[in-house]
Amino acid sequence: MKQNSQLFKGSLSTIILKLLDENGKMYGYEITKKVKELSKGNVELTEGALYPALHKLEADGLLEVKIENIGNRNRKYYSLNKAGKKETNLKLKEVSDFIIQLQQVLNLKPTY
Amino acid sequence: MALSKLQIDELFVFTEKKFVKWYDLQVELVDHLANKIEEELDQNPKTNFEDALKKVYASFGIFGFARIVREKEEQVRKFNNKLWFKELKTLFVWPNLLKSLSLLLILKLMIDFIPMEYILYAGLLLAIIQTGFQFYKARMDRKHAAKVNRKLLLTQFVFFPNGFGYLYFQFWINIWRFDEQGDYIAVNKYVFLGVVFIITSSYIAGINVARKIYATAKTMYPEVFKAA
């Protein structure tokens, strides 16, 4: 089942920040592949959603950007800076609290 | 299968045809397209480059690169504004505060000891020279961009020095007030001092931002700044 719902879109920046926190530096295509791999193909991150979110995080001063030459083309790598690391922890806590509150309200039972 | 240099060049031409005119954004999109095309060619070896490109571009949706370009332009604009405010604030923090206070003192001494008309003449002359310089610089920038055929979004909205240059020019034009006999009407000295100080500080902050952005751009995309 492919999931591309608003729920995921709302958490996109948190997903990107967390991936960068875990993997150090990453480039756009690598992020889409990693999301697909981690969700076992259930979440497909489109380019139209990924790049605006990445560029917003960059403009917010949370990311460091580096251009590296990889043979016959250049690649733009993103990594977290100090403010980005702080923001990642904050966002993860927010998501974690949200899940707990949602669980309390909806009283969902695990399906596995 | 890794794409050839020729195919990468084709991708740059392709992004430009799809209305991505900024080289810095093209670099990122070309790498993304290339990765996806390479994956497609590995999975379906019978597919050719052109068909793979069509398929990969279709995955960007009906608007293609449009949303990515629009939002990136917006983010760069916001980033520049934020950087300018940050830079302006640093002018009022030690040790820059000392320079700002010195500027204020010099302006104060000027209006106390030099007749206002002379200051206005000097200001107007400076504004004209500055505007002329701006036109010259803009012309040179356009010439260079046409030569290297690459434009950076990163440096596109560095307009604060130009914007404040215009404001400065307007100020010196509008401050001339004459009565019916043609005599100059003096403006309030302290209002004048305040306005000149604000414009000058904003202008200095704008220049500092432009320097920083150009330094980053030169490090990231040295190929754009090489003479054609």
Backbone angles phi, psi at A55, to 5 degrees: -65, -30
User: How far apart, in whole angstroms, are the C-alpha atoms of residue B164 and residue B209?
Assistant: 13
pLDDT attached to residue B228: 54
Which residues between 101 and 160 in chain B have a beta carbon less than 8 angstroms from any beta carbon of chain A?
A: none
Query: For each of chain B's 228 residues, which pLDDT tens digit applies?
Result: 789 999 999 999 999 999 999 999 999 999 999 999 999 999 998 999 999 999 999 988 888 899 999 999 999 988 888 898 999 999 999 888 998 899 889 888 888 888 877 877 787 787 778 777 777 777 877 777 777 778 888 888 775 555 666 676 777 777 766 667 666 666 677 777 888 888 888 888 888 888 899 899 999 999 888 765
Cβ neighbour number for residue B148 with a 10 Å cutoff: 14
- Among B197, B189, B162, which Cα is nearest to B91's? B197
pTM: 0.82
The predicted-structure confidence for B100-148, as pLDDT tens digits, reads as follows: 899 889 888 888 888 877 877 787 787 778 777 777 777 877 777 777 7
The predicted-structure confidence for A60-93, as pLDDT tens digits, reads as follows: 999 999 999 998 999 999 999 999 999 999 999 9
pLDDT attached to residue B158: 74
| B36 CB within 8 Å of a chain A CB | yes
For B175-209, b/e burial (b = at least 16 CB within 10 A) is: beeeeeeeeeeeeeeeebbebbeebbbbbbbbebb
| Residue A1: pLDDT over 50 | no
The CA distances from residue A55 to A44, B22, B220, B226, in Å, are 19, 14, 16, 26
Asked if residues A34 and A23 have their Cβ atoms less than 8 Å apart, the reply is yes
| A34 CB within 8 Å of a chain B CB | no
Asked if residues B92 and B162 have their Cβ atoms less than 8 Å apart, the reply is no
| B221 CB within 8 Å of a chain A CB | yes
Q: Which residues of chain B does A69 touch, with a Cβ-Cβ cutoff of 8 Å?
A: none
Select from B4, B67, B220 the Cβ nearest to the Cβ of A52. Answer: B67
Q: Is A59 within 8 Å of B61 when comparing Cβ atoms? A: no
Query: What amino acid occupies position B193?
Result: L
| A74 CB within 8 Å of a chain B CB | yes
Which pair of structure tokens corresponds to residue A24?
């150090």
More confident site: A4 or B36: B36
pLDDT attached to residue A61: 92
| B79 CB within 8 Å of a chain A CB | yes
Asked if residues B156 and B22 have their Cβ atoms less than 8 Å apart, the reply is yes
**How large is the average pLDDT for residues A10-37?**
94
Tell me whether 0.90 is exceeded by the ipTM. no
C-alpha neighbours within 13 Å on the C-beta side of residue A57: 30
CA distance A95 to chain B (A): 25
Asked if residues A37 and B39 have their Cβ atoms less than 8 Å apart, the reply is no
